[in-house]
Amino acid sequence: MKKRGLWLIIGILIGLLILYGGASWVFSSMLIDDDTESLAEAAAEGDTPADFGLPEPELVTIDAGNGITLSGWYFDNPDPAGCGLMFLHGYKGTRYHVLDWAPLFWNRGCDVLAYDHRGHGDSSPAYHTYGYFEKEDAVAALDWFANRAGLERSQIGVFGVSYGAATALQMAPMTPEIAFVGADAAYSDLREIVDYQARELFPNLAPFILPGVLRVAELRAGFKVDEVSPERSIANIQVPVLLIHSLTDEYTFSTHSEDIFANSDKSRTVLHLTDWGAPHARSLSTDPVAYKQLVDDFLSQYVPGFGREPAP
């Protein structure tokens, strides 16, 4: 009888482990393998490069190594001023979603590169690692861009939004020659943002299941969650950094950019917390004139000579 009871307990424990492992697998897919918008879906939303004053782009494919190719657009400025800007879009988006930012630099005479992250748009299918591998992709794209545009790394700025902002901040220590980094609505640390989002979606389940989810995600995607931390990366950035975050961002709170700023070199880092009522990563569309002024002032003070000065 006692033996039968012991086997019953063992069976229950094994069942619970299987259930926990299965749930961890399912929820890890939401983190690293969730559906993203296709390029066709993004195009159907209506905006085109021409709507932002850009010419027809050159369609490009960039070899990022390890079987990953990045699909993107290269815009060759017809009135070049010796500068370039590489844009990194947000989570589940595509290169279409950074077109809003392009005129800020295109009108300065900069060439522009925008590409889809791995696992997004027309780039290679891959797990999402929130900057862990994406930062290496960005370095490959930067070098492709410099070669194609005939520019030095020092003539190129990198601007990211949300997921792309966090990637740009993790990339920058690897590329100390670049002109500057712009980061709009970045998350400070992957574990922190996942914990918050999980508790919002599954308040009772999250504390119990999250450790398993993160571990399974690491094993499946081959990355380390605790190494995805823009707030630690910024301590090693050697170029000017512009941080922008809406105070009314309810998806990634502005405290994330505040935490990043706290670890930065204040002599070359600027933080703007906008109070324009903008949702996540929409400060530019909420008040484009004020946003442009923030960017222009930053470049004038910290990156003088980056392209042409904007018209008054």
* Judgement on whether residues 247 and 288 belong to the same structural domain of the protein: yes
Whole-number Å distance between alpha carbons of 210 and 214: 6
For 294, the domain range is 37-189+228-302
Flag whether pLDDT at 18 surpasses 70: no
* Number of domain units in the chain: 2
* Judgement on whether residues 260 and 143 belong to the same structural domain of the protein: yes
Average pLDDT over residues 92-98: 95
* Judgement on whether residues 98 and 122 belong to the same structural domain of the protein: yes
* Judgement on whether residues 253 and 113 belong to the same structural domain of the protein: yes
Whole-number pLDDT of residue 245: 98
Q: Could you tell me where the DSSP H helices lie in 202-254?
A: 206-221, 230-233
Q: Do the Cβ atoms of 65 and 116 come closer than 8 Å?
A: no
Distinct helix (H) and strand (E) counts, the chain: 11, 8
Whole-number pLDDT of residue 17: 61
Can you give the CATH number for the domain in which 272 is found?
3.40.50.1820
Angle between helices 206-221 and 2-32 (to 10 degrees): 70
Whole-number pLDDT of residue 10: 64
Average pLDDT over residues 285-306: 97
* Judgement on whether residues 145 and 110 belong to the same structural domain of the protein: yes
* Judgement on whether residues 117 and 203 belong to the same structural domain of the protein: no
pLDDT by residue (tens digit) across 202-219? Answer: 788 778 889 999 999 999
Whole-number pLDDT of residue 179: 98
pLDDT over 70 for what percent of the chain? 93
Q: Do the Cβ atoms of 177 and 171 come closer than 8 Å?
A: no
Residue 16 falls within a domain, yes or no? yes
Residues shown for the chain: 312
* Judgement on whether residues 134 and 68 belong to the same structural domain of the protein: yes
pLDDT by residue (tens digit) across 258-279? Answer: 999 999 999 999 999 999 999 9
Residue 309 falls within a domain, yes or no? no
Residues in CB range of 97: below 8 A, 6 or more apart: 42, 89, 90, 161
Per-residue confidence at 193, pLDDT binned at 50, 70, 90? Answer: very high
Per-residue confidence at 242, pLDDT binned at 50, 70, 90? Answer: very high
For the beta carbon of residue 165, count every other beta carbon within 10 angstroms. Answer: 32
* Judgement on whether residues 43 and 153 belong to the same structural domain of the protein: yes
* Judgement on whether residues 291 and 143 belong to the same structural domain of the protein: yes
* Judgement on whether residues 145 and 242 belong to the same structural domain of the protein: yes
pLDDT by residue (tens digit) across 70-84? Answer: 999 999 999 999 999
Whole-number Å distance between alpha carbons of 181 and 160: 8
Indicate the helix (H) or strand (E) that contains 191: helix 190-201
* Judgement on whether residues 63 and 20 belong to the same structural domain of the protein: no
Per-residue confidence at 15, pLDDT binned at 50, 70, 90? Answer: low
